[in-house]
Chains A and B, each alone.
Chain A
């Protein structure tokens, strides 16, 4: 899976995401929805997404970042924004490697 050109995904006036996880997530959203996203934009406020989209998002997160998202981690808050998703990925990666990681 590839990351994206974040300059293309960035709405006018928005700062580029420095975090590579966030850049990758923004790229997925842009490609999949054909619209621009910011890292703090509420995914669920858009009202234009379906369960199938969420499934694709979950599969993207798991495959792109080599993590397993399951059980209590499947919450609206963990997926509400790109910031939140990136924090979840960092925590899961830290857990998988045995290193202590920040919790959201």
Chain B
């Protein structure tokens, strides 16, 4: 994907929903039952507190709330409701996207779930929303939503991150800003089962994420990510006819503090401090991270029209995306 018509599609509005309660990671009750290596990881990964909604909050309910609040007062429904899939569906055979649409009061939007990409789902949703708008001139708006909640009782995902709660809704529209200038995305199915939850043989409160191989995560996936993202950044910049020196800010998902250093070391680009701030305050919010980071960066007013923001996103499944926005 390159510039050209992409200049016509950008962000209409973003609304992020974050809990009032921020719970200290070192006081998470699960830490006492974890192996020492895993507990030490949680305490030392750069996440000081995680946002925590009430126990009864569900991903679909939170996504619906974010959608309702974003659309409050808007005269027209989005043409499409694109839900970035939660870590686990709330029902089998039913429809989480239909649930969100109904709970948000949407009656005409076509709703569906984009799934299987982990954190990268939000970036893929940006690209898909753009394509949907360009493919059919009658469409005016695509709404993207997602909520982050742990898949079970545990918030520590060793050796990846610690999960926090949050939800967002955002629209992609013609004439919106920032404009989506260029986007690349890739997947590698060989990592499809690196992480899994055996949900069929245990009640939900006993679900526990299993990492097939922490070494494979820290070595193979990390180095594949390094090679892919380095190349994809070059490709996105070439697609947009932009130079690396023209990037005003680089954002990515908030996983751990060492992860920021890892990506900075080979990209040669500083990750904007807003990412580390959100990491420390809210923990990892899955596909919401890059949306929150972009929203708050734009709100801080340090960027000017025409500035370029590079957004990297990847996930353990393994999926990678690089997006270039023009403010």
Partner-B contacts on A (CB < 8 A): 44, 47, 49-52, 54-55, 58, 70-71, 74-76, 79
A-B contact pairs, 15 of them (CB 8 A): A47-B37, A50-B218, A51-B223, A52-B258, A52-B262, A54-B219, A54-B222, A55-B222, A55-B223, A55-B266, A58-B223, A71-B227, A76-B213, A76-B216, A76-B220
Q: Which residues of A contact B95 (CB under 8 A)?
A: none
Chain A residues within an 8 Å CB radius of B224: 74
Query: Can you list the 9 inter-chain pairs with the closest CB atoms, starting with the nearest?
Result: A51-B222, A44-B215, A74-B223, A52-B262, A51-B218, A54-B219, A51-B262, A58-B223, A70-B227
Q: Pick the residue among B37, B215, B262 that contacts A55 (CB under 8 A).
A: B262
Residues of B within 8 A of A58 (CB): 223, 226
Question: What 4 additional pairs, Cβ within 8 angstroms, besides A44-B215, A50-B258, A50-B262?
Answer: A52-B262, A55-B223, A76-B216, A76-B220
Q: How far is the CA of A15 from the CA of B120 in the complex (A)?
A: 48
Asked if B107 lies at the interface with its beta carbon under 8 angstroms from chain A, I say: no
- Which residues from chain B contact A54 at a C-beta distance below 8 Å? 218-219, 222-223
- How many A-B residue contacts, CB cutoff 8 Å? 44
B265 close to chain A: CB less than 8 A: yes
Q: Which of A47, A70, A71, A76 contacts B219 (CB 8 A)?
A: A76
- When distances are taken between beta carbons in the complex, the residues of chain A under 8 Å from B215 are 44, 76
CA distance A89 to B224 in the complex (A): 18
Q: Which residues of B contact A79 (CB under 8 A)?
A: 219
Contact of A51 among B37, B213, B219 (CB under 8 A): B219
Q: Chain B, 215-235, contact with A by CB distance < 8 Å: what is the 0/1 string?
A: 110111011101100000000
* Contact residues in A for B223 (Cβ distance below 8 Å): 51, 54-55, 58, 74
Complex CA gap A76/B222 in Å reads 12
B262 contact set on A, CB distance < 8 A: 50-52, 55
Cα of A9 to Cα of B223 in the assembled complex, Å: 26
State how many residues of chain B have any CB contact under 8 Å with chain A.
18
Contacts of A70 on B, CB cut-off 8 Å? 227
B218 touches A55 (CB 8 A): no
In the complex, whether B192 has a CB less than 8 A from a CB of chain A is: no
With a CB–CB cut-off of 8 A, which chain A residues contact B259?
51
Most buried by B among A47, A52, A79: A52
B261 at the interface (CB under 8 A from A): yes
A49 contacts which chain B residues (CB < 8 A)? Answer: 218
CA distance A94 to B262 in the complex (A): 31
Say how far A30's CB is from chain B's closest CB, in angstroms: 20
Note all chain B residues with C-beta closer than 8 A to A74: 219-220, 223-224, 227
Bound-state Cα–Cα, A71 to B224, Å: 7
* CB neighbours of B261 from chain A (8 A): 52
In the complex, chain B residues whose CB is within 8 Å of the CB of A50: 218, 258, 262
